Amino acid sequence: MSRFVVVIPAEGDPVAVALDGDRLATLQGAVGGCIAYLPEAFHELDGYEVVHLDNWHGQPVNFTASRLIGLPGACEPLHGTVVLVPLPTGQDNRAERAHQRRYFGMLDAVDSGFCTADEAGIGALIRVPAA
C-alpha cells in the first residue's frame, strides 16, 4: 500500500503524490531542491511533518500552506512549495511540539529579561543584531 504526501504549491491547487521508492528524492523533487523540516513548535498538525525548500529566499509566499498548518501569525509565512508528510499510523508529534515550545519559551523569557541565561539553565544567550 502506498503512502501519499500532500504537495501545496505557492500558486495552484494542492496535489497528492505517492511516497514510493526514494523518500528523499521524492521530497526534493516536490519542493525543487534541498529540503528542511519545519520544527513542530511552529505548526499545529499532530500527524504530519512539514517539509519546505531549505533555501526559500526569492520564492513566492505560500499563504495557503501557512494557514493550513496553523503557522503562528507572528511568524514569517512559508515560501515556495510545502509538503505535508504523514507520520506512521499511531505516531504523533505532540510531545516533540510541547518540548520545543517550552525551549523556545525559555529563550524568549531570557531574551525579554524575565530570567537570566544561568537561571534558565542554558549558560548564555547570544543576540546577533539584524543587518
Do 82 and 99 fall within a single domain?
A: no
pLDDT in tens, 6-31: 999 999 899 998 887 888 999 999 99
Mean pLDDT over 99-105 rounds to 81
Alpha-carbon distance 102 to 20, whole Å?
A: 35
Average pLDDT over residues 71-76: 85
Pair 63, 110 in one domain: no
Contact 85, 48 (CB under 8 A): yes
User: Could you tell me if 99 and 82 lie in one domain?
Assistant: no
Structural domain of 52: 4-86
**Residue 74 sits in the same domain as residue 113:** no
Share of the chain above pLDDT 90, in %: 35
DSSP 42: G
- Is residue 112 within a helix (H) or strand (E), and if so which, with residue range? helix 94-112
Percent of the chain at pLDDT exceeding 70 = 98
Q: Report residue 36's pLDDT band, with 50, 70 and 90 as the boundaries.
A: very high
Confidence (pTM): 0.75
pLDDT at residue 35, as a whole number: 94
> Confidence class of residue 98 from pLDDT cuts 50, 70 and 90?
confident
d(CA 101, CA 70): 14
Examine the pLDDT at 1 and tell me if it is beyond 70: no
Do 56 and 120 reside in the same domain of the chain? no
- Please determine, for residue 2, whether its predicted confidence score (pLDDT) is greater than 90: no
**For residue 119, pLDDT beyond 90:** no
Mean pLDDT to the nearest integer, 87-102: 79
The DSSP bridge pattern shows strands 15-18 and 35-37 to be unpaired
Dihedral sign from CA coordinates of 57, 60, 64, 65: negative
